[in-house]
Amino acid sequence: MGQTTIPAVVRDAAAKFGAAEALVDGSLRLGFAELLERVQSVARAFAARGVQPGDRVALNLPNTHHWVLAGLGALYAGASLVPVNTRFTATETVDLLVRGRVKALVVAADFLGADRHAAIRATGVDLPDLATVVRVPLEQPHRPVPGTLGWTEFLDLAGQVPLAEAEARADAVRPDDVSDILFTSGTTGRSKGVLSAHRQVVDVAAAWADCGQVTADDRYLVINPFFHSFGYKAGIVVGLLTGATIVPQAVFDVRGALDVIERERISVLPGAPTIFQSLLGESRRGDLSSLRLAVTGAADVPASLVRRMRSELGFETVLTAYGLTEAVVVTMCRPGDDAELVSRTSGRATAGFEVEIHGSPGEVVLRGPNVMLGYLDDPEATARAIDEQGRLHTGDVGELDAAGNLTLTGRLKDMYLCGGFNVYPAEAEHVLTELDGVRDVAVVGVPDERLGEVGKAFVVGDGLTAADVLAFCRERLANYKTPRFVAFVDALPRNASGKVLKRLLTEENA
């Protein structure tokens, strides 16, 4: 696909697909032409609040139409997106707002019974750059909060800015401008902001859509969170490029998902293996005859699961894929691949990537036009990740077969996957070093039937219980990052240079 921008894609979709359904969220149904009008209004509202091209706009929302409109509207106004993981604690969220120098925040006022903006304020951290806060009521009627705007109040500001200004801003966005900064956990214990350009977002979404043969006839249930590159880039942007209808689900619920699949005639359903295992576990599934394409990965996928997805859930095509925030989608299986290949590998290179295996153990190394621009304000980390030849060193260990199919065999940096989310043990270790009584600590991923892997903390310390350790983590870390198990040991196994031998800890749990 030629170089382009996300605002151009929104316009093109309106021109190509017109009144066809673009977005269905409960009772709200928007065609592509109406979606463009809503996006233009949001862009004008951001402009009215002083958001300038190049400014950062953070979104702390679940999968609803508000995320789609706010995100696309911010991009249309020339801003860059900073999606916030809705599972982050207030402390983690504030860290992103400060480091991202965020000018505007659109936040759920009451998601899952929690007032996220109130929690951010309660941290007491000064946010001098944050000039606009838009509180979106999801579960309760809007309650005015001084210094903030409700969603409707925010949209009403559009009238202060002429449409021509929004169009001029959209015209001014260039393919190499930064479209988004997605924060991904780092092995140093602090998240890193991954910078992507508009052209990269569009190209990887187009490649994903091509592999899955997505068309305007498809209806796409997006369970993957919009704050993640999968839900945003392989979800929202795929819908815009292909004319597929996007149907977001804010919180995965098996019965709710089955009802939506039947009611909305869903044909495309990506997700972690646990999603499909949950669907298969339901005896009353309703009419699933519309299902066509499933894309999964992020954990081991048994061939038996692929076969059951095809035979019992009715998927014509089941694909696996490999990606990371720094490159989004790297490899993907193709329609027609057999169950063994789909389960054993993550498919072949896509989106213009060259995939190589370097060294022993073999690290997965990538090169191509969609490798990230770099890490936010961290040239040293960028230089460590991307070498002088422009190759991204992923830290994942894998093998390539003769046909170019990639099989992941491990992770150089001790990362593990909990419920489809990347977890870096260093974050929990960093937190636990602050707990009184902890002298030494190491966290490893251990197998879990439901979530794939969960954390286990090995603690050297005095006067502590497992409950103390877990409670301390829960207050400071997102749920999926919090270890599930604690073992107290006299000492951690270390090599001559003092590095913890996590392999020995992992083997104890094998």
Rg of the chain in Å (alpha carbons):
23
End-to-end CA distance of the chain: 46
pTM of the model: 0.85
CATH architecture of the region 417-508: 2-Layer Sandwich (3.30)
Q: What local confidence, expressed as pLDDT, does residue 430 receive?
A: 75
pLDDT higher than threshold 60 for residue 496: no
Q: Which pair of structure tokens corresponds to residue 111?
A: 């998601």
pLDDT higher than threshold 80 for residue 278: yes
**Under CATH, to which class is 252-411 assigned?**
alpha beta
User: How does residue 62 score in pLDDT terms, banded at 50, 70 and 90?
Assistant: very high
Higher pLDDT, 414 or 349: 349
The average confidence (pLDDT) of the chain is 92
The Cα 473–Cα 357 span in angstroms is 36
pLDDT higher than threshold 60 for residue 320: yes
Q: What local confidence, expressed as pLDDT, does residue 188 receive?
A: 42
Number of H-type helices and E-type strands within the chain: 18, 25
* Range with the poorest average pLDDT among 92-96, 209-213, 299-303, 374-378: 299-303
User: How does residue 1 score in pLDDT terms, banded at 50, 70 and 90?
Assistant: very low
The domain locations on the chain are 6-175+191-197, 252-411, 417-508
- Do 221 and 249 meet the contact criterion of CB atoms below 8 Å apart? yes
* Range with the poorest average pLDDT among 79-93, 321-335, 425-439: 425-439
> Please, which residues have CB within 8 angstroms of residue 338's CB and are 6 or more apart in sequence?
none
Q: What local confidence, expressed as pLDDT, does residue 410 receive?
A: 66
**CA-based nearest residue to 322, from 186, 175, 454, 207:** 207
Query: What percentage of the chain reaches a pLDDT higher than 70?
Result: 95
Task: Tell me the angle at which helices 65-76 and 163-172 cross, rounded to the nearest 10 degrees.
Answer: 70
The Cα 399–Cα 416 span in angstroms is 18
**What would the pLDDT profile of 137-179 be if each residue is shown by its tens digit?**
998 888 889 999 999 999 999 999 999 999 999 999 999 999 9
Q: What local confidence, expressed as pLDDT, does residue 359 receive?
A: 81
CA angle 494, 495, 501 (to 5 degrees): 55
Kind and range of the H or E run holding 239? helix 237-242
Q: How many CA atoms lie within 13 A of 495 on its CB side?
A: 7
Task: Tell me the angle at which helices 425-432 and 466-476 cross, rounded to the nearest 10 degrees.
Answer: 110
Q: Decide if 252-411 and 417-508 have a common fold.
A: no
Pairing of strands 149-150, 132-136: parallel
Q: What local confidence, expressed as pLDDT, does residue 416 receive?
A: 87
**Under CATH, to which class is 6-175+191-197 assigned?**
alpha beta
CA distances from 322 to 298, 354, 366 (A): 7, 13, 12
Q: What local confidence, expressed as pLDDT, does residue 509 receive?
A: 62
CA distances from 454 to 273, 344, 430, 447 (A): 15, 22, 17, 7
Q: Which residues of 408-436 are buried (b: 16+ CB within 10 A; e: fewer)?
A: beebbebbbbbbbbbbbbbbbbbbbeebe
Q: What local confidence, expressed as pLDDT, does residue 299 receive?
A: 54
- Do 347 and 337 meet the contact criterion of CB atoms below 8 Å apart? yes
CA distances from 213 to 138, 206, 244, 324 (A): 34, 10, 11, 22
CA distances from 402 to 154, 347, 348, 350 (A): 55, 12, 11, 16
Of these ranges, 37-51, 104-118, 172-186, the one predicted with the greatest mean pLDDT is 37-51
Q: What local confidence, expressed as pLDDT, does residue 498 receive?
A: 52
Q: Which pair of structure tokens corresponds to residue 89?
A: 């604690």
Is residue 79 left, alpha or beta, with left meaning phi > 0 and alpha meaning psi from -120 to 50?
beta
Q: What local confidence, expressed as pLDDT, does residue 189 receive?
A: 54
Q: What local confidence, expressed as pLDDT, does residue 87 receive?
A: 84
Q: What local confidence, expressed as pLDDT, does residue 483 receive?
A: 97
**What would the pLDDT profile of 183-233 be if each residue is shown by its tens digit?**
985 434 578 999 999 999 999 999 999 999 999 999 999 999 999 999 999
Q: What local confidence, expressed as pLDDT, does residue 343 receive?
A: 87
**CA-based nearest residue to 195, from 288, 64, 285, 328:** 328
> Please, which residues have CB within 8 angstroms of residue 346's CB and are 6 or more apart in sequence?
297, 320, 321, 322, 331, 332, 333, 405, 406, 407, 408
